[in-house]
Amino acid sequence: MRKIDILLFIIAALSIFSSCTKKGDAPSVADNILNYTINEIPVTTDYTVGAFYYNFTTFNTSTVQVPTVGKYSMVNGVVPSVVMTNHIQQAKRGGIDYFLFPVRSVSRDLINFRTDSSTVKSFLDVNTDNLKFALAYNFLNTTFAISTTDPLENNGVKLEQFFQDIIKMVPQMKNANYIKVNGKALLYIMNAHLLFSNDNIKIYTTLRSRLSALGIELYIVGMQERWSPPARYPFRFQGCVDAIYHQSYSSQLTDWDRWWLLPQTIDQNWKYSKEYFASNMGGIDYVPNITPAYDWKILQPTAVSPNYPRTDGGKMYKQLCNVAKMNASKTTRLILIDSWNKWDEDMQLESSVSYGDLYLNITKQQFKKP
């Protein structure tokens, strides 16, 4: 008898619950924050587009794609003049405003600095088309042997080396083709979130002052690690940099959930980050950073993380371009593309035998007025 009473109670409870729940009250796919279409954003004013230009010794043997200029080598960072000339012409054709060259520390990583400098010189030696360029100081906390418990300013020699690394860039910044933002020389600082200091504001203020004394006013864009919350490093950026960019969200994907709705996931992250930087970190601006494609398996043949392939005729890249436009600064209109020529991860914009100028054409169509 007791079992029957319990069963009747359960049935009654379910009946009451079902009668109080309308069919439309239950959450559905339509309620998902990521359930929306990335619309085409018309271009009424040109965006300023930069592309990371990397150096490498030779092509990875697992690289399937072949550049239209043929596979090339960069011995000690030197790019063959015919290759660099072709790259400049392609960039101009594809609506790229400037190449962004990473440069490592002259004070603490001299051999790699020389390699990086040779790549920049290869560009300057043949740049008769007057493509713009900028430098990205490739800061590494490991190179400086600093940490949260042993910050940069604890060692006066290291601190001065940091300043000298950027002072060394002044001749390039005075080049007529060095790109300016609001009349200031554009300087990217890679891994800026790892510039460990107990007073980052003082370091950046001193840096700006010393460069100003040499005739250079800086517009600094600092890098924050991909997929990190915007509130993680205010003490590294606020009062220090003019803008922030993230490592490319569309490269080195490890999360399948992000992969399924990648454009929407990036859009939501950027919108929140951009608003937070502007509202809570002293009006810091934002620079979206996108990647044309990505392939883990070139460097890691057994990788099981999601790839972002070139099998869709550029459809995904177009969506990411529109996400970048949706989140670009209204004032600087800076867009960053990673990369021009990182073939060993299939991240390149550079034209290839298989897809031709497809990604260059998309870039120009997406970021320049018709």
Question: Could you tell me the domains of the chain?
Answer: 45-367 (3.20.20.80)
Cβ-defined contacts of 266-274 (< 8 Å, 24+): 266/320, 266/323, 267/38, 267/323, 267/326, 267/327, 268/33, 268/34, 269/227, 270/323, 270/326, 270/327, 271/326, 271/327, 272/230, 273/230, 273/244, 273/246, 274/327
- CA 203-207-209 angle, 5° bins: 120
pLDDT of amino acid 17? 45
Calpha distance 206→365 (Å, rounded):
41
pLDDT of amino acid 30? 77
Q: Which band of pLDDT confidence, cut at 50, 70 and 90, is reported for residue 23?
A: low
Q: Which band of pLDDT confidence, cut at 50, 70 and 90, is reported for residue 11?
A: very low
Q: Which band of pLDDT confidence, cut at 50, 70 and 90, is reported for residue 26?
A: confident
Answer whether residue 9 shows pLDDT above 80.
no
Answer whether residue 15 shows pLDDT above 80.
no
Answer whether residue 6 shows pLDDT above 90.
no
Answer whether residue 5 shows pLDDT above 70.
no
pLDDT of amino acid 10? 44
Answer whether residue 59 shows pLDDT above 60.
yes
Q: Which band of pLDDT confidence, cut at 50, 70 and 90, is reported for residue 22?
A: low
List b or e across 94-127, with b for residues whose CB sees 16 or more CB atoms inside 10 angstroms: bbbbbbbbbbbbbbbbeebbebbbbbbebbeebb
pLDDT of amino acid 32? 87
Give yes or no for a contact between 230 and 277, defined as CB atoms under 8 angstroms apart. yes
- Whether the CA torsion 139, 141, 146, 151 is positive or negative: it is positive
pLDDT in tens, 279-296: 999 999 999 999 999 999
Give yes or no for a contact between 52 and 343, defined as CB atoms under 8 angstroms apart. no
Mean pLDDT for all residues in the chain: 93
Cβ neighbours for 300, distance < 8 A, ≥ 6 positions apart: none
